[in-house]
Amino acid sequence: MEPNNANTKKIVIIVVILVVIAAVVVLVVLGGNIGSMPGAGTGSFGNSGGANSSTPAASVTHLPTPANVVVPDAGAVGTGGVAVPQVESPAAPGVSAKYRSFNIIVQNGEFIPSTIAVNLGDTVNLQIGAVGGTYDFTQPDLGFNVPLPNGENKKIQFAAMSAGKFVFYCSSCGGPAKGPVGYIVVAGK
CB atoms < 10 A from the CB of 19, how many?
10
The tens place of each residue's pLDDT in the chain, 189 residues long, gives 455 677 777 776 776 566 556 555 444 444 433 333 333 333 333 333 333 444 445 789 999 999 999 999 999 987 888 999 999 999 888 899 999 999 999 999 999 999 999 999 999 999 999 999 999 999 999 999 999 999 999 999 999 999 999 999 999 999 999 999 999 999 987
pLDDT of residue 78: 78
Answer yes or no: pTM beyond 0.75. no
Q: CA–CA separation, 102 vs 123, rounded Å?
A: 11
| pLDDT recorded at residue 84 | 95
pLDDT at res. 80: 82
107 contact partners, CB below 8 Å, separation of at least 6? 130, 131, 132, 133
Give the right CATH number for 34-187 from 2.60.40.420, 3.60.21.10, 3.40.640.10, 3.40.50.300: 2.60.40.420
